[in-house]
Amino acid sequence: MGTGKRGLIATAVTVIGAVAVLAAPATAFAAPSPTPTPSPTASQTPVTTKDLEAVRERLDALYHDAAVATDAYNAAEEKARQQSAQIVALAKKIVQGQEKLRKLKARAGAAAAAQYRTNGLPDEAQLILSDNPQEFLDATGRVLQGQRATKALIAELTQTQQDLKQYADDASAQWTKLEAGRKANAAAKKKVEQQIAAAEQLESQLEEREKERLAELEEQAAQRAQSAWLDSGILDEIDGKASEAGKIAVRYATAQIGKPYEWGAEGPHSYDCSGLTSQAWASAGKPIPRTSQEQWKQLKHVDIKDMRPGDLIIYFDDASHVAMYLGEGAIVHAPRPGRTVTLAGAGSMPILGVVRPDA
């Protein structure tokens, strides 16, 4: 391809393909030694469509990997929120248990003080010494009541102490899980940032006119996929009507059109793909899992021909992307970094399946 601009683009694609995780963007496009020095005339060598297709495919791969890492990050974030909530709940139980234990001990102390006031004789001894029939009967009742109360008090004290120990053990276990989740979260975050940095570095090698051509190639690829999907006749079979909740979710999602994609974001100013779909359905009073992979795992699957507006289309074999179906073969989704929430063709990406949040 030569040592001009085409050579630099080719080198960039090759190096980023070989190094999926970058330590520093500055080294991402280091050329093999010895470094070629493009001549002034060679630098004007035009980048061919084939070159840009290679860039497009590499960008798709990088952003796909970033989407997978984003899902892992979101899952770790969601789990951390749940574990934090459980720790808070356990802490409240511990405080309540400690207060209950204090009151129980106070009751036990009061019983001991009452025994002291009767010269230290237990009710049983006083019963034996009584020579008054009525007092004897009254004392008999008090002895039985006292025995039951003492037994219940001891049982309650024991149970409360056991509960406090269990709450403390549970809180410690949740804290350990939370710390492990934070590490997983940090690793996923680093992976996302590295993949996006690699993609941005690759795009930065292009001039404006080449970026425009690249955008055209991306659009053409999406149109080809959408046309192939429509040519299958699938749209003739899809005529489902949105549920009331689905209509609310669709209104929410479409109202976000134009807002930027931001990985890990769930509104209101920016979104990633599953952040958009989860918040849209939350607005309809139907909370769903935070990530596209969990949405695929947990929500009811429906056949493509049976889908209706508001249903979620899951894309790619690893369920790394999700969009909301609007009807007439269209979706709304948050595509990837550098893009905004937008409309697209439902068949513009490889469909894994369809799920229904309000089945």
The residues that are catalytic are: 273, 321, 333
Q: Which residue has the tokens 């309000």?
A: 358
How far is Cα of residue 191 from the mean position of the Cα atoms in its chain?
A: 16
3-state SS of the chain?
Answer: CCCCHHHHHHHHHHHHHHCCCCCCHHHCCCCCCCCCCCCCCHHHCCCCHHHHHHHHHHHHHHHHHHHHHHHHHHHHHHHHHHHHHHHHHHHHHHHHHHHHHHHHHHHHHHHHHHHHHCCCCCHHHHHHHCCCHHHHHHHHHHHHHHHHHHHHHHHHHHHHHHHHHHHHHHHHHHHHHHHHHHHHHHHHHHHHHHHHHHHHHHHHCCCHHHHHHHHHHHHHHHHHHHHHHHHCCHHHHCCCCCCHHHHHHHHHHHHCCCCEECCCCECCCCECHHHHHHHHHHHCCCCCCCCHHHHHHHCEEECHHHCCCCCEEEECCCCCEEEEEEECCEEEECCCCCCECEEEECCCCCEEEEEECCC
One-letter amino acid of 141: G
CA-CA distance, 337 to 194, in Å (whole number)? 13
